[in-house]
Amino acid sequence: MACGSCGTTENGVPKGCKSNGNCGSGSCGSGSNKLAVFDWLSNMTLPSGQERFNIFEVRFKNGRKHFYKNPENLTITMGDIVAVEGSPGHDIGTVSLAGELVRVQMKKRKITEDHEDVKKIYRKASQRDIDIWQQSRAKEEETQKRGREILGRLGLQMKLSDVEYQGDGNKAIFYYTAETRVDFRQLIRDFASAFSIRIEMKQVGARQEAARLGGVGSCGRELCCSTWLTDFRKVTTSAARYQQLSLNPLKLAGQCGKLKCCLNFELDTYLDALKSFPKQDLVLKTEKGEAVFIKMDIFKNHLWYTYKEERFKWFRLTLSQVLEIVELNKNNEKSASLEEYESDVEVPVKVDFEDAVGQDSLTRFDAPKTNKRRRNKNNNKNKSVSADASGGGQKSHARKPIQASQQSRSQQQSRPKSRPKPNADSGASKASGEEKKPNKPRRNNNRNRNNNTPKNGSDSEK
C-alpha cells in the first residue's frame, strides 16, 4: 500500500516524492522498507487499567530490526525517527511498530522485556542528528569500493557485500561472505587506518547477501528474500523429490547458489496429497509378472508402472486401480494384467483453442514466402496449356500458328545443311520455286524475317 504522495497525475506522471512507490515513508513496502507492517490494533482501546506497551520496534538499513524500550515515556508513533543506544555512541532508526503487536513479535522471537538486547531510546532525532546520519549514509558506497580494493591487495578469499554506517558516523559494519575461515586481523587494521572509524566485521550467508543485493528470479518477479521473506527455512532436495521435480541444480538453485526458497511453499500441499498414494518401492504382482513404479501425476491421480522383464512399455493406472491391486496382493492373490487395467483408464481429451487467436499456428511465419510474380506466371502458363489442349476459344487459335512456326524454325536451324544432288528435275524445281513462295506466311509471323529466311528461298528469288 503506497503513501498518499505516491499518486499520479492525469498524465501518469508521479507526484509528491516522485519515486512511484519506492519512497522512504515507511508504508510503501519496497526498498529498505520491505518489512513495513500494518498495526491492525491501532484503533482498538486497551482495557481499563492496562498501560500501553512501552517497547518499540526500530528499523535500520536493509530491514535490520531491533527492540528498544522507552524509559523517558516519550510520545512516539510509527514512522518517527529516533536516536537509540548504540555500541558505542548512538544510532538513528525509524520506528516500524508500536503497541501490543510488539509484544507479539517479541514472543515470536523469544525475547523477554528484560533481555540484554533490548536497549534504550534516547530521544527523537533532531535535525542535526538527521544531517549527520545522511552524510554517513552517503559515504557507504565509496567506503565499499575502497574496502574491495584493500581486499584485493591483501589477497583474502572473501567478498565484501555491503557497508552500513552507524547514525553518529563513528562506526561502520562491514558485511562479508566467505566459504572458508578468514584471518582478517590485518584487514581490520588497514580499514581503521584508511577510514578512521571503528570497524565491525559481520559474516552473512549467501541467502542474506542475495536479500541485500536484490534481483529478479526465474519466475520473472522480484526475489522473495528481498521483498517479503523474513526467515530462511532449510531447503533440501527431498522437497524437490516429493514434488516430482527433476534434480537439475541449474533449475533448482536461485541467484544465491542455494536451493530456491519457493520449493518449501507448496511442499505441505504435496505431502497431504501423497498420503493416499502407495510407496514407490512397492512391487505389484500380476498374472503376467511383477510390475514396478516409474512415475506419477499427483493431482491427476495417475501412476505409471512397467513389468520388470518388459521395461519398454509403460502402463497408465489410476490411484484406485493401484490400491485395488495392492489389496489383492495383501491377500496373496495376483491381479489381472496391466493391459486390462489400462484399457479401463479414461484419458482426458486435450481441449483445443476455441478463439481465433488460439487457432493460429505459432510457426505460421516460419515457412518461406513464395514469389507472387513466379506464381502468377505459372498459373497463366497452365491456363494456356489447358486452353490449347481443349482447342476452344479465339486465343487458342491465334497461338497455334505462332507455336507451329517456332517449332518448324527450331527444327530447320537444328537440321544440318546439305546441298541438293544434281538431277534432271533441278530446273523444274527452280521454276516451281519462283512461282511458289512457301516462306511467305512464315515471314508475316516473324519479326526478324531477314535473319531467319532460309538460303534456298533467297537463291530461288534471286
pLDDT for residue 358: 55
Of 165, 32, 162, 147, nearest in space to 89 by CA: 165
Which grid coordinates are listed for 241?
Answer: 523429490
pLDDT of residue 126: 93
* pLDDT of amino acid 66: 92
Half-sphere exposure of 134 (CA within 13 A, CB side): 8
- The pLDDT score that the predictor gives to residue 359 is 58
Take residue 1 and report the three cell numbers written for it: 500500500
Domains of the chain: residue spans and CATH: 1-36 (no CATH), 50-125 (no CATH), 138-204 (3.30.300), 226-273 (no CATH), 277-343 (no CATH)
Sign of torsion, CA 75 76 81 82?
positive
CB 35 within 8 A of CB 96: yes
Query: Phi-psi region for residue 55, left (φ > 0), alpha (ψ -120 to 50) or beta?
Result: beta
Residues comprising the chain, all counted: 462
3-state secondary structure 387-439: HHHHCCCHHHHHHHHHHHHHHHHHHHHHCCCCCCCCCCCHHHHHHHHHHCCCC
Using an 8 Å Cβ cutoff, are 240 and 252 in contact?
yes
Reading the block at residue 111, the C-alpha cell is 525475547
Q: Is the pTM of this model over 0.95?
A: no
Contact 53, 103 (CB under 8 A): yes
Predicted local distance difference test score (pLDDT) of residue 198: 92
| pLDDT for the residue numbered 233 | 86
What residues contact residue 138 under an 8 Å CB cut-off, 6+ apart?
none
> CA nearest 62: which of 35, 83, 84?
35
What are the 10-residue block averages of pLDDT along the chain, 462 residues in total? Answer: 46 46 41 61 77 89 87 89 91 90 90 90 94 93 93 91 91 91 89 92 89 87 85 88 89 91 92 91 91 90 91 91 93 90 80 59 69 69 64 46 49 50 45 46 49 47 40
Distance CA 400, CA 187 (A): 101
